[in-house]
Amino acid sequence: MVRNEIKMKSQEEERFDKKQIALATRNSTIEDELSCSLLDEGIIKCEACGLKDICNEANELVDKYVERITRVVGNFTFD
């Protein structure tokens, strides 16, 4: 059964599904975007947030992914 959840639960533990995190990251480059609910709701500013480094890394990951999948691998012309 395919589950559309980032967090998986079993009897012993709760785990985060890397596949769902990767898909969420990829989808943010195609049809969605990454955002921060703490910032969007005015709860905290980036400068004071303990998650700032993780958010910055997530943004860099998305930028690297976009660069990798949009690289020009060849040129051609129609005659």
Domain ranges of the chain: 8-69
Q: What span, in angstroms and rounded, lies between the C-alpha atoms of 51 and 31?
A: 24
Q: What is the pLDDT of residues 13-58, one digit of tens each?
A: 888 888 888 888 888 888 778 889 999 999 999 999 999 999 999 9
Position with higher pLDDT, 18 vs 12: 18
Res 52: pLDDT: 93
- Sort 43 into a burial class: Cβ within 10 Å, 0-12 / 13-18 / 19+: exposed
Asked whether 46 and 39 are in contact (CB, 8 A), the reply is yes
DSSP for residue 5: -
Predicted TM-score of the model (pTM): 0.66
